[in-house]
Structure 1
Amino acid sequence: MEILAGEGVALVKVGESRDVVESRVGPPVHPGRRSRAVYDTDPGLVITYQADETVELVEIGYGGEEVFFEGVQLTYRFIDDVVAELAARGHRAVPFDIGFSFEPGFAIFSMSSLSASELDPGAPVDDPRRVVEGVSVAPFEYFREPTEEEIEAYVRGLES
C-alpha cells in the first residue's frame, strides 16, 4: 500500500467524512462510533476522526501488504534503515519517542513488539534494532511537537 504523504492512502484521506470512508471500506471491526476506528483492510487501517466526524489521522500497521512511500518500503524493516534510505532521498527525519516524522506528512514508529530476530534470524536476543511496525499519515503540522506556550495554554484551558 502506497501512502500519500500528508493526505492518507487511496482508500482514506484526511478530511473525508466517516460516511465516505465507510462507504469504501465498510464498518469498523468494533461496535459503536468512537474517535478511533479499526477497519478490516489489508494492511489494517486505524482511523482517528475529529469531533466533526472527518478523518484527522490515518494509521497503517505492518502485516499482510507492506506500506511504501515513493517506492521505499516503510513497514517490517529496521527503522534505522528506513530513515537512512529516506534521508538519501532528501527527506529529513524528526525523532520522537517511538519513531520519526517526515516533513511530507507521515511518521514511522515502533512499539517494540517485534524483535530484531524477526528480520535477522542471527540477531542476538538483546539486539537493540527496532522494526517499523506502523505508519501514521497526516499533514506534517499534526506531528509537530507543541511549543511551551501551546502546552501552557492547553493546561490553562483544562483548569478553567
Structure 2
Amino acid sequence: MEILPGEGVALVKVGEHRDVVESRIGPPVHPGRSSRAVYETSPMLVLTYTGDETVELVELADGDGDGGEEVFFDGVQLTSRFMDDVVADLEAKGYEYEETDIGYRFEPGFAVFSMGSRWARDLDPDAAEDDPRRVVEGVSVAPYEYFAEPAEEEIEAYISSRQSGGNR
C-alpha cells in the first residue's frame, strides 16, 4: 500500500469523517467508537479520530512477513525492513528526517517506527540473538507538524490544564 505523506492512503485521508471511512472499508474489528480504531485491511489500518470523529492519524502495520501487503513510499518499501536501510534509501532520494524515540519522522509528513516486537532474526535468520538492528513495524501518516515534539510551553500548558481540571 502506498502512503500519501501528510494525507494518509488511498482508502483513508486525514480529515475524513468516520462515517465516510466506515462506509468505504467497513466497521473496526473492535466494538464501540473509541478514538483509536483498528480496521481489517492489508496492511492493517489503525486510525485515530478527533473529538469530532474526523481522522487525525493514519497508521499502517507491517505485513509481519506473512505475505501481508507491505507499506511503500516513492518506490521504497517501508515496513518489514531494517530501520537503517529504510532511512538510507529515503535519504538517498533526498528526504529529510529527524530521529524520534521510536523511529524517524520525514519532512513530507510520515514517520516509521519500531516498538521492539520484532527482532533482526525475523528478517535475517543468521543474525545474532543480540543483533541491535531495529525492524520497521509500522508507518504513521499525518501532516508533518503532527509529529513534532511539543514545546516546553505546550507541556506546561497541558499539565496546568490537567491540574486545574482535576481540582473541580
- CA displacement, residues 56-98 of structure 1 (integer Å, 9 cap, x when unaligned): 0000001110000111100000000000111111111211111
RMSD (CA atoms)? 0.6
Correspondence 1:33-52 to 2 at 5 A: 33-52=33-52
Structure 2 residue 12 is the aligned partner of structure 1 residue 8:
no
**How many Å apart are 1:106 and its aligned residue?**
0.3
Aligned residue in 2 for 1:122: 126
Amino acid at match of 1:149: E
Aligned residue in 2 for 1:20: 20
Correspondence 1:130-149 to 2 at 5 A: 130-149=134-153
Correspondence 1:87-126 to 2 at 5 A: 87-126=91-130
- CA displacement, residues 8-54 of structure 1 (integer Å, 9 cap, x when unaligned): 00000000000000011000000001100000001100000000000
TM-score (norm 2): 0.94
Which runs of 5 or more residues in structure 1 are unaligned?
Answer: none
Q: Partner of 1:47: helix, strand, or coil? A: strand
Counterpart of 1:70 (choices 74, 97, 100) is 74
CA separation in 1, counterparts of 2:126 and 2:23?
A: 45
Aligned residue in 2 for 1:80: 84
Amino acid at match of 1:95: E
CA separation in 2, counterparts of 1:101 and 1:51?
A: 25
CA separation in 1, counterparts of 2:116 and 2:42?
A: 21
Q: Percent identity of the aligned residues?
A: 73
Q: Partner of 1:157: helix, strand, or coil? A: helix
Structure 2 residue 64 is the aligned partner of structure 1 residue 60:
no
Displaced runs of 4+ in structure 1, greater than 3 A? Answer: none
TM-score (norm 1): 0.98
- What is the total number of aligned residue pairs between the two structures? 160
**How many Å apart are 1:155 and its aligned residue?**
1.0
**How many Å apart are 1:118 and its aligned residue?**
1.1
Amino acid at match of 2:141: V
CA separation in 2, counterparts of 1:157 and 1:118?
A: 44
Structure 2 residue 160 is the aligned partner of structure 1 residue 156:
yes
